[in-house]
Amino acid sequence: MRDKVAEFEKRIVQLFAIDPHESHRVRHMLRDVGTKPDEVLYPVLADPVNAVSAIYGVAFQMSIHTEWSNRPATFVIDKDGVLRYEKRGTAFGDRPKPTDILAEIDKLGKGK
């Protein structure tokens, strides 16, 4: 993902990760991987009550690390705010590759 971030930036796309925990857990996770919170390549947003996960229909759907967590999922929203791509994973690690997401963004066309 890291080496692909420049490709996302080139396409004027905002990337967000959404984690279904409080923000101290997000910072703990970043510490564990040796990244300072202000040095992340893209913002990791804390969704402590799973509200956004629930609105996007992914909350409490995967049992992992002894928690009921969100299903792995990726969404692409165009410049007009329209949902243009979704991938709702059916297994741990069932995610589109960064190149797949970039291809979806390229499909949005100019001005999107």
- Least distance between another protein and beta carbon 3 (Å): 16
Least separation in angstroms between residue 104's CB and another protein is: 9
From the list 4, 7, 30, 41, which residue makes contact with another protein (rule: CB under 8 A)? 30
34 binds another protein (CB under 8 A): no
Using rule CB under 8 A, residue 17 touches another protein: yes
Helix (H/G/I), strand (E/B), else coil: 76? strand
Contact assessment for residue 50 and residue 40, using Cβ atoms and an 8 Å cutoff? no
Interaction pattern, residues 68-97, with another protein; x per rule: CB under 8 A: xxxxxxxxxxxxxxxxxxx-x-xxx--x--
CB atoms < 10 A from the CB of 70, how many?
24
Pair type for strands 62-64 and 67-69: antiparallel
